[in-house]
Structure 1
């Protein structure tokens, strides 16, 4: 019973946050599996870092080498996986292009990007990327 009440309370809180703070946006660009660009409610481009997830880099930049080292992978494996993760996100948006896109802002990251949860209709894209195996869990620590 206690577990059931926790689940119901969590669902209620998630739905109330979804209903009260989300804004409709338009997808402008997909950078990689965890970063997109949208046109926001003020008709301005805004970079969104999908909060709670991390994907491999698609290019051989410094962070890709760090990912390769930490995951005991070659740089080629890291970037190939990054491209695969980006393609999964692209495919999701392409196959659901008639659904509305919503943003729930969660602050800013160290690079000035908006941290957020993206909803495609009712589908939480952040959770989808995790559950589909196309992202890893990532916890942000405020600096």
Structure 2
């Protein structure tokens, strides 16, 4: 009796964790733009996706890379080198996968989707690419001020 009760409890616990999940949008992966931006395709339309909650070093010299160099007290060349590393880490993690799953939050002022992309690692287990990149050490946590979330 105890065994059946425990089995029922853990079954309900396992199932309930997926009952209230936000649906994930399946998309086709195209390419990595930089450490915090990817290009995807859905219904024959191409979209830029900014990874939710992170800001990586720039992979090219521009106004933003100059600001990052000043903020982190490093050279602009170091910023770009770190940005290229971040892009390569994201490329390597996605690898040969063609399907990604997005949890879309909003659209930014550049017209990019703000989303958490997921890849399937093993069976149905998914890796959150935003968290993965944040743990790489080449991206910092970033919160968009005034962003309206979709939940």
Same fold (TM over 0.5): yes
Question: Aligned pair in 2 of structure 1 residues 139, 13: CA closer, same or farther (>3 Å)?
Answer: farther
Structure-1 separation of matches of 2:85 and 2:37: 14
Structure whose residues are more often strand by fraction: 2
Between structure 1 and structure 2, the one with the greater Rg is 2
Normalising by structure 1, report the TM-score: 0.82
CA RMSD of aligned residues (A): 2.1
- Tell whether the 8 Å contact from 2:57 to 2:82 is kept in structure 1 after alignment: yes
The Cα offsets for residues 42-77 of structure 1, whole Å up to 9 and x where unpaired, read as: 221000000101100011111000000111010000
Structure-2 separation of matches of 1:119 and 1:106: 14
Deviation for aligned residue 1:142: 2.2
The Cα offsets for residues 60-116 of structure 1, whole Å up to 9 and x where unpaired, read as: 11100000011101000000000000010011111xx24741111110112111000
**Number of aligned residues:** 128
Q: Runs (4+) of structure 1 moved beyond 6 Å?
A: none
Structure whose residues are more often helix by fraction: 1
User: Please, which runs of 5 or more residues in structure 1 have no aligned partner?
Assistant: 1-7
User: Please, which runs of 5 or more residues in structure 2 have no aligned partner?
Assistant: 1-12, 121-125
Deviation for aligned residue 1:12: 3.4
